Amino acid sequence: MISASIAKKIITELKTEAYQWEGLRSLTLHGSQVDKIEDNYYTDVDIIFVCEDRTIRSDFLMINQFFNNECQKHSDSNILCLFRIESGPMHPLRSHNKDSPIIPLSQRRIVFFHISLFSESFYRGTQGYPGPSPLLIYSWQELTPLIGLPLGKIRFISRLDISDVLNSGLGIRESICMLKNGKKSFWKWSETSENGMKLEWVEEPFKDFDAFDIPIYIIKWVIENSVRALSGTMPFNSRISSKEIFIKFVLGSEFHNIDAEVNFFYDNIHDLRKQYTESPEAFLREYDPYILQNIILGILEHVENSLEAIEEMVETNFEFKFLNKQIPIGVTVQLQEKLMRFVQKNKPDKILIITDDNLMQIYDIARWLQVYGVPVSQVSLISGPSSKSIDGLAKLLVTAEELGINSQSLIVIFGGGNVGNLGGTVAGMVCRGVPFVQIPTTVIGQLDSAISAKQSVNGIKGKNYFGLFHPPNAILVNPLLLKTLSEYDIRSGLVEALKHGLCQSEELIKIVKCYATSPHQDLFTLEKIITETIKLKLDYLKVDPYENAPTQFLELGHKVGHALESTADGTISHGMCVAIGIIAEAHFFQNMGRVDESITKYLIDAVKKVVGSIYLPKDLENETIACQLLFDNKRRGNRIPFAYLRNFQEPISSFEELNEGAIHSFTDSIRFARNVLK
C-alpha cells in the first residue's frame, strides 16, 4: 500500500522544482466520476486529481491539500496537472529507452504522476517490475490519451497515437522482444551516497512469477491502450468494456476461439498467485507459464499487424459535384476529427442523429457531438429494411418536427444503406432540405449507396419507389467501422464493387477476387477496394449525376436483384440478390444472342469467387420474382432498362419489353442462376 512518505516525497519533488503556482484550480474525482474526464464534462479546470482506490484516500487527500494550498497563493496559471492513483496496472507510455531519462518538471508545463499500488507480496516490489515507479513523472505526450489542449481549458480529447502503442514504453514491439527473450528491462530508482535519487537502466531474466505476471501485465496494457488509440476513430459506447472492444475491433473473429484461455489467466491470475505467494516453484510446476506466454505472444503479433495496417491507411479525399454543390468525401480513420471539424464549420442550432438498434449497442456518436452545447437528439431505427418504408418515413418526419429540426440544423446519419436512404429522404423533405452528413457503416454503404444524391424509401409493391434528390453535405467513410460485420455482410457488399469492376476496371475485379478468396482478409485491401470503387462511381456520376441516363450501366444485375429483394421482403441482402441478378440477366441476354456464353461463364466464376453459394427459400418462386420486374421504379410502361456486358468492361444498356415471353424467359434464367449458386 502507498504510504504517507511517498505522498510527502511527491510534494517535496514538486517544491524543489521551478514550478509556477499561479491561479491553479483543482478538482477532485474518484470512483465512477473518473470516466467523465473522457466525456469532456470538465472544461474549466487546471488541476485534476484522479483517485480510483478509496483505500488510499488519506494519502490522496494529503497531495490534494497541498495543491489546494498552493492554488490559494497565486492567481494566474495555465499549468495542468493530473494525478492517477489506481490499483490496477496501466503502463505510463513513456520511453523506456535508456537514452531518454525523465524530463524535469522545470522543463515542461504538463505533469503526470502515476502511483502504482501493487503489493510487494504480489509483485515483489514495484521497482523490480517493468511498470511505473511511484515517483515517475511523465511528459505531455503521455498525458494526451486523457486530456487535450489548450492548457487551462479542456476543450476536446487528444487521443493516443497508434505509433505510441507500438513503440512507446513497454510498447507492443518491445513486449514481443521481452517475451521471446525471457528478459525484462526497465528504469529503476536507486539512492545515491548524497541521499539523492538516480535512475539506472536494468535488464534481468524472468524469475519467480515473472513468466505469468509480465504477460498478464502486458496484455492488460495492450488492451487499454489499443482501445484508447482507436477511440478517436470510432465512437465506442461507454457501456462496452475495453476488453470487448479489443476483441471485436483489434483481434477479430479468428482469435475468439482462444478468448476463453486468455480469460482464465486474465480473470484468475490474482487468486492463483495468492495461493503460491511464498512458493513460486510450486506455482510453476502446477501451471506452465509458456502456455500463457505463447498465447499472448501470438495475440501481440496479430495486434501489431492490425495496428500497422491501420497506421498505413492513407487518408483519401474526393469531391462529388451535384449541380453547383461540391460534396466532400473523406476516406479516413480519423472520424472524430473530421466530424468535429465539419460541425464547427457549420455551427448547427440542433443535431439529430439517425442510426439503428444494432449500432446503438456498439457505438454512441452522440457522446462526440454533445460537447458543442447544442441540443443533440438521437433516433434509433429497427435494424433491417423494414424501417425503410412509408411508415418509417412518416414517423421520422413527425419526430423531426417535434424536435424543431430546421434548415439551420444538422442531421447525422450513422448506419448502413437502409438507414442512409431513409435518413437522406428525411433530410431532403424537412423544411425543403436540411444539411446532413453520411457516415456509412457497411461495405455497400461506404462504396455505393452513400455516394449519391438519390434518397429513397420502399413502396408497398416496389423497391425505392418514393424518393428525391438531396445530396449530403459531407460523406465520411471509415473502413474500421466494417470490423463488426460478418463475412456474409462483407461479401454481400463486395458484389457492388465487383459490379463496378465488371463494367469499368479489370484491376478492381482482381483485387476483389483476391480479397474474397484469401484466408486472411486484411483491412488494408478492403480499404483499397472501397477507395477504388468510390473513384469509379464518381467517374460515372460526372456524366450522369441523377443516375437515370438511358446509357446507364450501374443497374447491372439490379433489375432481377431488386425484384428478388422485394419478393423476399428484405430477408436476403441486397448484394446477394444482385449477385443472382448478374447471372440471371446475363443468361437472359445470352438466350437472346446478345451475350456470348464465355461472358456468362466469366461472370459466374467472378460472382462465385466473391459470394460462394447462396441459398434461397424454396417458397420463393422464380415466376413470382420475374413478375416483380413489372414494378421496377425506372420502368417506362412495360419497358424496363437493363444493362449487360457485351464484352469485358463493355457494358450495354437496353430497354426490354416485359411481355409474357420475356417473363417466361426471365423465370428460366432466374432458375438457372439459383442452380449455379447453390
Backbone angles phi, psi at 436, to 5 degrees: -150, 155
More confident residue, 447 or 273: 447
More confident residue, 601 or 238: 601
Least confident of 55-59, 64-68, 328-332, 627-631: 55-59
Q: Output DSSP code: residue 79.
A: -
Highest-pLDDT range among 58-67, 415-424, 481-490: 415-424
Return the bridge partners of 654, or none: 642
Decide: 164 and 171 in contact? Cβ < 8 Å. yes
Least confident of 105-114, 149-158, 521-530, 630-639: 149-158
Per-residue pLDDT tens digits for 393-442: 999 999 999 999 999 999 999 999 999 999 999 999 999 999 999 999 99
Q: According to the model, what pLDDT value does residue 594 have?
A: 96
In this structure, what C-alpha cell is assigned to residue 19? 514550478
Decide: 309 and 523 in contact? Cβ < 8 Å. yes
Q: According to the model, what pLDDT value does residue 373 have?
A: 82
Per-residue confidence band for 167, with pLDDT thresholds at 50, 70 and 90: confident
- Does the domain at 316-485 match CATH 3.40.50.1970? Answer given as yes
Q: According to the model, what pLDDT value does residue 34 have?
A: 36
Per-residue pLDDT tens digits for 345-386: 999 999 999 999 999 999 999 989 987 889 999 999 999 889
391: pLDDT strictly greater than 50: yes
Q: According to the model, what pLDDT value does residue 139 have?
A: 30
Mean pLDDT of 517-522: 81
Place of cell 495542468: 80
In this structure, what C-alpha cell is assigned to residue 445? 454503404
- What is the C-alpha to C-alpha distance for residues 330 and 660, in angstroms, rounded to an integer? 47
Q: According to the model, what pLDDT value does residue 258 have?
A: 54
Q: According to the model, what pLDDT value does residue 502 have?
A: 96
More confident residue, 75 or 440: 440
Residue 532 carries which side chain, given as an amino acid letter?
A: E
In this structure, what C-alpha cell is assigned to residue 390? 412509408
Mean pLDDT of 1-15: 43
Instruction: Give the 3-state secondary structure of residue 674.
Output: helix
Q: According to the model, what pLDDT value does residue 4 have?
A: 44
Task: Tell me the CATH number for domain 540-676.
Answer: 1.20.1090.10
Q: According to the model, what pLDDT value does residue 213 have?
A: 73
- What is the C-alpha to C-alpha distance for residues 354 and 380, in angstroms, rounded to an integer? 6
674: pLDDT strictly greater than 90: yes
Q: According to the model, what pLDDT value does residue 604 have?
A: 97
Per-residue pLDDT tens digits for 320-330: 999 889 999 99
Least confident of 183-192, 246-255, 655-664: 183-192
Residue 35: CB atoms within 10 Å: 11
Cis peptide before 145 (omega within 30 of 0): no
Q: According to the model, what pLDDT value does residue 43 have?
A: 31
637: pLDDT strictly greater than 60: yes
288: pLDDT strictly greater than 80: no
Mean pLDDT of 300-327: 90
Return the bridge partners of 363, or none: 236
Q: According to the model, what pLDDT value does residue 255 have?
A: 58
Per-residue confidence band for 520, with pLDDT thresholds at 50, 70 and 90: confident
Per-residue confidence band for 69, with pLDDT thresholds at 50, 70 and 90: low
Place of cell 426490354: 656
Residues ≥6 apart with Cβ < 8 Å to 567: 620, 624, 625, 628
76: pLDDT strictly greater than 50: no
169: pLDDT strictly greater than 70: no
Least confident of 127-131, 241-245, 403-407, 639-643: 127-131
Across the chain, mean pLDDT equals 76
Give which of 567, 556, 571, 549 is closest to 627, Cα–Cα: 567
Q: According to the model, what pLDDT value does residue 252 have?
A: 67
Residue 424 carries which side chain, given as an amino acid letter?
A: G
270: pLDDT strictly greater than 50: yes
Residue 243 carries which side chain, given as an amino acid letter?
A: K
Q: According to the model, what pLDDT value does residue 168 have?
A: 60
- What is the C-alpha to C-alpha distance for residues 669 and 457, in angstroms, rounded to an integer? 28
Q: According to the model, what pLDDT value does residue 344 have?
A: 87
529: pLDDT strictly greater than 80: yes
Mean pLDDT of 258-264: 59
Half-sphere exposure of 103 (CA within 13 A, CB side): 15
In this structure, what C-alpha cell is assigned to residue 43? 472544461
Least confident of 196-210, 211-225, 516-530: 196-210
- What is the C-alpha to C-alpha distance for residues 78 and 507, in angstroms, rounded to an integer? 55
Least confident of 131-140, 173-182, 532-541, 636-645: 131-140
Least confident of 41-45, 321-325, 486-490: 41-45
Decide: 413 and 446 in contact? Cβ < 8 Å. no
Place of cell 419507389: 465
Least confident of 233-247, 344-358, 616-630: 233-247
Q: According to the model, what pLDDT value does residue 80 have?
A: 35
Residues ≥6 apart with Cβ < 8 Å to 110: 79, 80, 81, 139, 140, 143, 151
- Model's pTM, two decimal places? 0.76
589: pLDDT strictly greater than 70: yes
SS3 track for 131-145: CCCCCCEECHHHHCC
Residue 664: CB atoms within 10 Å: 12
